[in-house]
Amino acid sequence: MASSALQLLGFVISLAGIAATVASVIMVEWRKESQGKHRIYEGLWMTCSGTVDRWVCEPHQTVLKLSNEIQATRAVMLVSIFFSAVAVIVSSVGMKCTHFMDSMPDSKSKTALSGGILFMISGLLAIIITSWYVQMIVHNFNEAHRLQSKEFGHAVFVSWFGGFLTLMGGIFLSCMRCCGTRSSDSISSNQLLPSTKPKGNYV
């Protein structure tokens, strides 16, 4: 019962991570630039510019004009979300709190493990590509003129947070498989031990 609750906790944590990852992909403030009162925010899908009173947002018209870091980040983040979507389906089938594959407990446990691994891959992809994106922004910041330099925005932190939650949820799901295997092995070994009780003497 406790393992089922921890398994469900890992699944919920992963869902929270997916929500944060999707929110970061939609957010515009991946890269920001300030020139006095005028500000420019660049996201994976559109660019917004203006002042506090008025903003104008335009979607990216063509992929060829985008910078390499935006193209790579957009692609990897979408792959991460795809892995998360598959992990949700697989984990839902393999978790103990669902009734799928109840007649095949070993296969059900392995399915939950597969879902946990997919969650971990998804979280790692989001963390790695976001860290690379930040590194590219910092590198460009150090080389560019300070008046024309750009900095990373709040979407980066949301992406990191989402990737970390998804990774932790996947670890929870995978550990439940390991713990379940060890406990079942312990039970089997105890059953195989011969009884050491002395036989009673009968008169």
Buried (b) or exposed (e) across 97-121, using 16+ Cβ within 10 A?
eeeebeeeeeebbebbbbbbbbbbb
- Angle, vertex CA 74, rays to CA 68 and CA 78, nearest 5: 150
Encode pLDDT of 81-128 as tens digits.
999 999 999 888 877 766 766 677 677 778 878 888 999 999 999 999
How confident is the model at residue 199, as a pLDDT? 47
What token pair was written down for 30? 């991946």
Domains in the chain: boundaries: 2-181
In angstroms, the Cα distances linking 80 to 27, 74, 162, 163, 184 are: 16, 10, 11, 9, 33
Cβ neighbours of 78 (radius 10 Å): 13
Give me the CATH code for the 2-181 domain, please.
1.20.140.150
Could you read off the pLDDT of 160-188 as tens digits, one per residue?
A: 999 999 999 988 888 765 554 444 444 33
Question: What does the pLDDT read at residue 159?
Answer: 94
Q: 67: closest CA among 40, 35, 50, 43?
A: 43
Of 27-36, 40-49, 58-67, the poorest mean pLDDT is in 58-67
Q: For the chain, what percent of residues have pLDDT higher than 70?
A: 76
The confidence score (pLDDT) of residue 153 equals 85
The per-residue pLDDT for 105 is 66
Proportion of the chain above pLDDT 90, given as a percent: 31
Q: In what order do the strands lie in the sheet with 31-35?
A: 55-59, 46-50, 38-42, 31-35, 151-152
Q: Report CA-CA distances (Å) from 200 to 141, 193, 197, 203.
A: 85, 20, 9, 10
CA-wise closest residue to 123 among 173, 92, 161, 74? 161
State residue 148's pLDDT score: 54
Please report the pLDDT score of residue 165 as a whole number. 95
